[in-house]
Amino acid sequence: MFYTAAIRGFGLSDCLIRQEGIEEFIANPLSKKGGIQYNIEFVGAEQKKTMRRCNSHVLETRQSMKNTKRRAFTLIELLIVVAIIGILAAIAVPNFLNAQTRAKLARVQGDFKALGAAIELYILDWSAAPWDVPCPSGDHGWAACFSRATTPVAFINQIPADVFQALDVKDNLSPGHFVGSQLSYDYTTIYFNGGVNTPNQMWQFLFGRSLWRIASAGPDQALINVTARQWLAPPYEPSNGLISPGDIQYSQQSFLNK
């Protein structure tokens, strides 16, 4: 006859004994000084030998579990980890923001070169720079001012947006601009600043005899595009600080000198 007996003790894994010809099986797990004692009566030497092996396995398993210490993090350890993460974040975040600003500055210079090339191609065809006033949309300094470089002849495929201008720029951040979206770089020509033969002093000081000038709001995100006579905004200078007041200026003279 075939019997299956399960011996369980103190949460240990089951020890299954499968033997044929067992007449009688009695299992009573008792605690004795950290060990497990079983009172078992078997018929036959083989069954007793099997039970001893099982008892030895149970004792070894219990001893192994006693030697294994389960330990969780304390509150102090968690606070130390949080403090370390905070210190690393305080070091990494400013560096990340500075790298992001430098990437935007590089993007602005690339856009300036592309727009400058388009304006110069327009000048070759029309013997004059695209007029900034009045813009086709009536919004001075907006992307619409560059539309003459895209229509009807595409001197540039797409007018880039100023990465330093917010999509919903406020009046107090950008004097002279209308509130709206898709702001491109500010565009001004010498025709609006005294004429080709009589440029105003500020224009001549900043841009020489350039016919046109492009400006970005810069890292301070405040575009000052009031171009009446000497009210031109001061240029952005990285030596004053990566994020400092001033607009990034780019003129025909800058384009031709590079």
For 156-175, how does the pLDDT look when each residue is reduced to its tens digit (9 = 90+)?
A: 888 888 888 765 444 444 44
Lowest mean pLDDT among 8-22, 99-113, 189-203: 8-22
Name the average pLDDT for the chain.
70
Tell me how far apart the alpha carbons of residues 176 and 226 are, in angstroms, rounded to a whole number: 6
Strand runs labelled E in 41-120: none
Lowest mean pLDDT among 6-20, 119-133, 242-256: 6-20
Residue 39: both structure tokens together: 């009172």
Q: How many CB atoms lie within 10 A of CB 232?
A: 23
Rounded mean pLDDT, 83-108: 94
For the cut 80, the answer to whether the pLDDT of residue 14 exceeds it is: no
For the cut 50, the answer to whether the pLDDT of residue 64 exceeds it is: yes
Identify the pLDDT of residue 7.
42
In this prediction the pTM is: 0.60
Q: With beta carbons less than 8 A apart as the criterion, state whether 120 and 107 touch.
A: no
Q: Which of 231, 124, 233 is nearest to 186 (CA)?
A: 233
The model's confidence at residue 189, banded by pLDDT at 50, 70 and 90, is confident
In terms of pLDDT, which residue wins out, 70 or 21?
Answer: 70
